[in-house]
Amino acid sequence: MNSIELMVYEHTNIIRMLAVVRKASYGVMKGEDINYQDFDKMIDFIANYADVHHHGKEEKFLFKEMVDHLGKMGTNLISHGMLVEHDWGRLFIAELKDALKRVQAGDDESRLDVIANAVGYANHLARHITKEDTVVYTFAEKQLAPEILAQINNQTDAFEAAASQQGVQNFYIEMLVELEQKYL
């Protein structure tokens, strides 16, 4: 599996977690008690699998090469598009964490902020993933030189091997399956 195929595969796992986030948010909307441990797991998955692991490869390898080698079009697409959207997703998660703390401290109205930020993140990231899968990755495959794509594949292989030694992929997929069984 090459780097881009791997990133598309990882998107399927992230989309699965987005379904969990939406379902947990629906429970909050219905007035159910918030399961803070489960929300912590969802946030952990988002921060470490979706952001550090997945976005890490995009930002360090693929997007860097697109900016370096695809001129103004690459810079605009990545620096003014995808990277801005990554930061926007991080903002949703920071706001979600804050809202959960406020609810835990007794601010019941902040349940609304939990729902808004969790669902906002899920909707935002679903659209973002569609853009990457259908536009950004396709553009990269067509426009980057074969040797640059090979370099990205090699960097991704090394990144994946190091993460695998630490059990990153298995840990987060097991967490995903556990939460899916509980919420879906």
pLDDT, tens digit (0-9, with 9 covering 90-100), for 93-126: 999 999 999 999 999 999 999 999 999 999 999 9
Average pLDDT, the chain: 98
- Supply the range of the domain harboring residue 8: 3-183
Give me the pLDDT at residue 36, please. 98
**Residue 30 contacts residue 125 (beta carbons within 8 Å):** no
Amino acid letter, 50:
A
**How far from each other are the two terminal CA atoms of the chain, in whole angstroms?**
29
Confidence of residue 29 (pLDDT cuts 50, 70, 90): very high
Q: What's the whole-number mean pLDDT along residues 52-60?
A: 97
Predicted local distance difference test score (pLDDT) of residue 60? 97
Q: What is the pLDDT of residue 55?
A: 97
Q: Compute φ and ψ for 102, nearest 5 degrees.
A: -65, -40
Q: Which residue intervals of 32-145 are DSSP H helices?
A: 36-44, 56-57, 63-69, 71-77, 83-104, 111-131, 137-143
- Domain of 86, CATH number, reads 1.20.120.520
Average pLDDT over residues 28-44: 98
Distance separating alpha carbons of residues 36 and 103, to the nearest angstrom: 10
Burial of 181 by CB count in 10 Å (0-12 exposed, 13-18 middle, 19+ buried)? exposed
**Nearest Cα to 115, choosing from 100, 101, 127?**
100
* Per-residue pLDDT at 140: 97
Backbone φ and ψ for 2, nearest 5 degrees, come out as -80, 175
Question: Greater confidence, 174 or 1?
Answer: 174
Count of domains observed in the chain:
1
- 3-class secondary-structure state, position 184: coil
Q: For residue 108, give the DSSP letter.
A: G
C-alpha span between 73 and 50 (Å, rounded) = 25
Instruction: Give the pLDDT of residue 68.
Output: 97
Query: Given this model, what pLDDT does residue 31 score?
Result: 96
Tally the C-alpha atoms within 13 A of residue 115's C-alpha that lie toward its C-beta.
Answer: 15
If residue 8 lies in a helix (H) or strand (E), which one and from where to where?
helix 3-29
